[in-house]
């Protein structure tokens, strides 16, 4: 069983460095696609999805923005299973119901402002910040954290500049979750892993999950105690969750 | 009848993705591809595609030079140039070379299909 993974925004080729070996031990060979920040001419979601589909993997997976890529890939070329990690079930146009600004332009302005605050004078300062934000810490997580940054003019910065980030956000904006879920191959097993919700948005999220359940007859929702980045938050436990689901769906 | 398209693009991932996505559309048939501008004229002489989707920045012949060479080898072929930006002198250069349309690489794929079909009719 080969599983191709598209990371969440900011994640890179080592995103599954911690859980990949656990997946492999249980019979799932994972390949993480490198988003190629700073080296890509197009961030159109359909083209990213095409790359994931072109791997010919048995199953696709993605986190957050990457889950949207994985869902579109499943529409392009049917896998035997699809794993959505806290994403892919909601359109960016619906983010306002989950606490994001109402319009795309407001979201772009907000994300550029946040991006502007992500700068550290040294690698040590950056790692200290990430460690303070991380629910867990080990060497593999440190490796992932280091990959997720670049050095420029004496500062430690995100892997993409603000303009590229804006281009990615605008490319994501066209993702229509309802239409995508409706267009998935009939009978496709889909695992949706949901992170811990913010209490004030629980009702909106429930409505979105009902829509997922109605659109995906063979869908499974697993609620986990984790921040939005469930790969980071759960670590090896996520690998077990995914493999257990693959086994339960007789895909492995 | 599907528009016969050749893709000239040095980025392997991008080229293969385009081949995959076009392969899923009835309006378009990818008949061949090349990874350098140098290979494009021979490819087009042999296949005589309706449309060539041509990257601009490539090793060897750039998009403009490759466009001239392709049109010499396959005069009825229409060239659509793919660029990373729209506001460069490169765009003028490819039109001067004979390209009929120019699109940026970050276009939605549906629009890319429409552009290819329209180019074939031009």
Q: Token digits for A31?
A: 């390949």
List of chain A residues whose C-beta atoms are within 8 Å of the C-beta of residue B54:
none
Contact indicator for A149, A47 with CB cutoff of 8 Å: no
Pairing of strands A155-157, A150-152: antiparallel
What is the strand order of the sheet B51-55 is part of?
Answer: B28-34, B3-8, B51-55, B78-83, B101-104
Q: Which residues have C-beta within 8 Å of that of residue B15, sequence separation ≥ 6?
A: B7, B9, B33, B35
Q: Name which of B109, B111, B113 to mutate to probe chain A: the one with the most chain A Cβ atoms within 10 A of its Cβ.
A: B109
Average pLDDT for A113-136:
92
Q: Token digits for A228?
A: 């939005």
**Which chain B residue lies closest to A56 (C-alpha atoms)?**
B20
What is the strand order of the sheet A81-85 is part of?
Answer: A29-32, A2-6, A59-63, A81-85, A190-194, A219-223
Residue A9 has pLDDT above 80, yes or no: yes
Cβ–Cβ below 8 Å for A46 and B14? no
Could you give the CA distance from residue A45 to residue A53 in angstroms, rounded to a whole number? 12
The ipTM value here is 0.70
Q: Does B109 touch chain A (CB under 8 A)?
A: yes
List of chain B residues whose C-beta atoms are within 8 Å of the C-beta of residue A76:
20-21, 24
Could you give the CA distance from residue A23 to residue A144 in angstroms, rounded to a whole number? 17
Top mean-pLDDT range of A147-151, A229-233, B104-108: A229-233
Residue B86 has pLDDT above 60, yes or no: no
pLDDT in tens, A94-122: 998 888 898 999 999 999 999 999 999 99
> What number of helices (H) and strands (E) belong to chain B?
5, 5
Query: Which class for A33: exposed (0-12), middle (13-18), buried (19 or more C-beta within 10 A)?
Result: buried
pLDDT in tens, A55-84: 999 999 999 999 999 999 999 999 999 999
pLDDT in tens, B7-63: 999 988 889 889 989 988 899 999 999 999 999 999 999 999 999 999 988 888 989
Q: Does A172 touch chain B (CB under 8 A)?
A: no
CA distance A81 to chain B (A): 20
Chain A stretch 64-93, residues whose beta carbon is closer than 8 A to a beta carbon of chain B: 76-77
pLDDT in tens, A11-27: 999 999 999 999 999 99
- A135-144, A155-164, A218-227: least confidently modelled range: A135-144
pLDDT band (50, 70, 90) for residue B106: confident
Cβ–Cβ below 8 Å for B17 and A47? yes
CA distance A47 to chain B (A): 6
CA distance A198 to chain B (A): 33
**Which chain B residue lies closest to A43 (C-alpha atoms)?**
B106
- Gyration radius of chain A over CA positions: 17
List of chain A residues whose C-beta atoms are within 8 Å of the C-beta of residue B108:
44, 46, 174
**Percent of chain B scored above 70 by pLDDT?**
98
Q: Name which of A31, A50, A52 to mutate to probe chain B: the one with the most chain B Cβ atoms within 10 A of its Cβ.
A: A50
At B83 the three-state DSSP class reads strand
Reported residue count of chain A is 252
Mean pLDDT score across all residues of chain B: 91
Mean pLDDT score across all residues of chain A: 94
Pairing of strands A190-194, A219-223: parallel
Cβ–Cβ below 8 Å for B106 and A77? no
What is the structure's pLDDT at B87?
62
Contact indicator for B12, B56 with CB cutoff of 8 Å: no
Query: Which class for A64: exposed (0-12), middle (13-18), buried (19 or more C-beta within 10 A)?
Result: buried
**Which chain B residue lies closest to A175 (C-alpha atoms)?**
B108
What is the structure's pLDDT at A109?
95
What is the structure's pLDDT at A248?
97
How many residue contacts between A and B have a Cβ separation below 8 Å?
46
Within 13 Å of residue A61, how many CA atoms lie on the same side as its CB? 31
Q: A45-54 and B109-121 helices cross at what angle (nearest 10)? A: 100
Q: Does A31 touch chain B (CB under 8 A)?
A: no
What is the structure's pLDDT at A187?
95
- Distance between start and end Cα atoms, chain A: 7
Contact indicator for B64, B94 with CB cutoff of 8 Å: yes
pLDDT band (50, 70, 90) for residue B84: confident
Could you give the CA distance from residue B7 to residue B30 in angstroms, rounded to a whole number? 8
At A110 the three-state DSSP class reads helix
Could you give the CA distance from residue A6 to residue A21 in angstroms, rounded to a whole number? 17
| Nearest one of A223, A220, A180, A188 to A205, comparing CA atoms | A223
Residue A88 has pLDDT above 60, yes or no: yes
pLDDT in tens, A196-217: 988 888 888 999 999 999 999 9
Residue B85 has pLDDT above 80, yes or no: no
Could you give the CA distance from residue A235 to residue B107 in angstroms, rounded to a whole number? 36
Distance of CA A161 to the CA centre of its chain: 19
At A83 the three-state DSSP class reads strand
Q: Which is higher by pLDDT, B90 or A27?
A: A27
Contact indicator for B53, B44 with CB cutoff of 8 Å: no
Q: Does B26 touch chain A (CB under 8 A)?
A: no
At A198 the three-state DSSP class reads coil
What is the structure's pLDDT at A217?
95
Place of tokens 């991932």: B13
Top mean-pLDDT range of A184-193, B20-29, B87-96: A184-193
CA distance B14 to chain A (A): 8
């Amino acid at each position: 069983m080969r599983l191709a993974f598209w990371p969440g925004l900011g994640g890179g080729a080592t995103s599954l460095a911690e859980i990949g070996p656990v997946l492999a031990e249980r019979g799932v060979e994972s390949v993480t696609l490198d988003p190629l920040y700073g080296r890509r001419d197009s961030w159109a979601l359909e083209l990213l999805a095409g790359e994931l589909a072109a791997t010919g993997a048995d199953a696709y997976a993605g986190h957050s923005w990457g889950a949207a890529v994985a869902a579109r890939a499943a529409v392009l070329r049917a896998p035997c299973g699809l794993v959505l990690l806290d994403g892919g079930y909601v359109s960016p146009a619906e983010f306002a119901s989950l606490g994001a600004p109402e319009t795309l332009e407001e979201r772009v302005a907000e994300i550029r402002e946040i991006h502007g605050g992500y700068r550290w004078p040294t690698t040590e300062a950056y790692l200290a910040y990430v460690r303070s934000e991380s629910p867990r810490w080990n060497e593999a997580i440190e490796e992932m954290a280091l990959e997720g940054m670049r050095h420029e003019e004496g500062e430690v910065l995100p892997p993409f500049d603000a303009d590229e980030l804006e281009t990615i956000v605008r490319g994501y904006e066209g993702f229509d979750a309802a239409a995508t879920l409706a267009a998935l191959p009939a009978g496709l097993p889909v695992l949706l892993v949901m992170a811990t919700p913010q209490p004030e948005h629980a009702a909106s999220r429930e409505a979105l999950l009902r829509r997922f359940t109605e659109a995906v007859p063979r869908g499974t929702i697993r609620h986990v105690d984790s921040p939005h980045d469930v790969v980071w938050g759960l670590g090896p436990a996520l690998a077990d969750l995914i493999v257990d689901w693959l086994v339960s769906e007789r895909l492995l | 009848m599907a528009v016969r398209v050749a893709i000239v693009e040095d980025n392997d991932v991008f080229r293969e993705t385009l081949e995959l996505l076009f392969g899923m559309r009835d309006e378009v048939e990818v008949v061949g591809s090349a990874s350098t501008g140098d290979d494009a004229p021979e490819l087009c002489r042999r296949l005589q595609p309706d449309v060539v989707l041509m990257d601009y920045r490539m090793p060897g012949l750039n998009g403009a030079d490759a466009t001239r060479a392709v049109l010499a080898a396959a005069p009825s072929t229409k060239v659509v140039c793919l660029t990373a930006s729209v506001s460069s002198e490169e765009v003028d250069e490819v039109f001067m070379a004979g390209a009929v349309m120019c699109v940026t690489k970050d276009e939605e794929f549906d629009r890319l299909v429409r552009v290819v079909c329209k180019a074939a009719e031009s």
